[in-house]
Structures are given as structure tokens and as C-alpha cells.
């Protein structure tokens, strides 16, 4: 095989041990310091949004606040404000369904984000 001196064999063993130690340290760091990746479902994301956001009072909200609701654009926000001005404050959240453009699906999307006071 290889005709190495005793000192040459020691150098090779030392280099191999150093390489294995380095690989071991890298593997340990990757396992120990791996950043956590959190996979969340749509319902968990919705709950997080509710927790992190303010609930909008539809009786006092401005157009800018209403637009922050999921699926509500500037035109629909203006319609909500006009309805509120014409008919007075909302008595309950379900009354939003009387507005053209807010059906059952859209209402279900925003229902957790709104309140009536």
C-alpha cells in the first residue's frame, strides 16, 4: 500500500481526526441551532390575525379602518359608511348583510374582526 514513515502516519491520523471533529461540530451546530419553521393552517393564521389586530367597531370606524378588513375595498367601505349614515348605527353585526356586496361568505370572513357598540 503506502510506504509511510511513522511520523507520516501520525500526520494522516491527526488530519483525519481533525476533519472528523470539524464535521461533528458542524453537524451539532446544525441540529442544535436550527431555526424553527412554523407551519400554520389558514385557521391558525386567522386566529393570529385576530389576536394581533384590533377589532373594528363598524359604528365608529373610518373608511381607512374598514378597508383593513379582509375582502373590503374602498368602495365597499364607503357603502358601509353611507348605510350607517342613512339608517343609523348598526344594531348587530348581521345587519351588515343588508349592504349590497356583503353576502354570507364575505360576512363570515370579517365577522370575527368586527364589533358593534
Residue 69 burial (10 A CB sphere; 0-12, 13-18, 19+) = buried
Q: Are residues 80 and 30 in the same domain?
A: no
User: Where does the pLDDT of residue 71 fall: very low under 50, low under 70, confident under 90, or very high at 90 and above?
Assistant: confident
Structural domain containing residue 60: 42-115
Q: How many CB atoms lie within 10 A of CB 64?
A: 9
Number of domains present in the structure of the chain: 2
CATH number of the domain that residue 59 is part of: 1.10.150.320
| CA-only gyration radius of the chain, Å | 31
Cβ 91 vs Cβ 116: under 8 Å = yes
User: Where does the pLDDT of residue 70 fall: very low under 50, low under 70, confident under 90, or very high at 90 and above?
Assistant: confident
Q: Please report, rounded to a whole number, the percentage of residues in the chain having pLDDT higher than 90.
A: 54
Q: Are residues 23 and 72 in the same domain?
A: no
Amino acid at each position: 500500500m503506502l510506504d509511510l514513515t511513522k511520523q507520516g502516519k501520525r500526520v494522516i491520523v491527526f488530519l483525519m481526526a481533525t476533519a472528523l471533529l470539524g464535521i461533528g461540530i458542524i453537524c451539532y451546530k446544525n441540529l442544535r441551532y436550527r431555526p424553527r419553521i412554523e407551519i400554520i393552517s389558514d385557521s391558525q393564521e386567522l386566529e393570529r390575525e385576530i389576536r394581533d389586530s384590533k377589532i373594528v367597531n363598524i359604528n365608529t370606524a373610518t373608511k381607512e379602518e374598514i378597508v383593513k378588513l379582509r375582502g373590503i375595498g374602498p368602495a365597499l367601505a364607503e357603502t358601509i359608511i353611507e348605510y350607517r349614515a342613512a339608517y343609523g348605527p348598526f344594531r348587530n353585526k348581521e345587519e351588515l348583510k343588508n349592504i349590497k356586496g356583503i353576502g354570507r361568505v364575505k360576512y363570515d370572513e370579517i365577522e370575527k374582526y368586527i364589533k358593534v357598540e
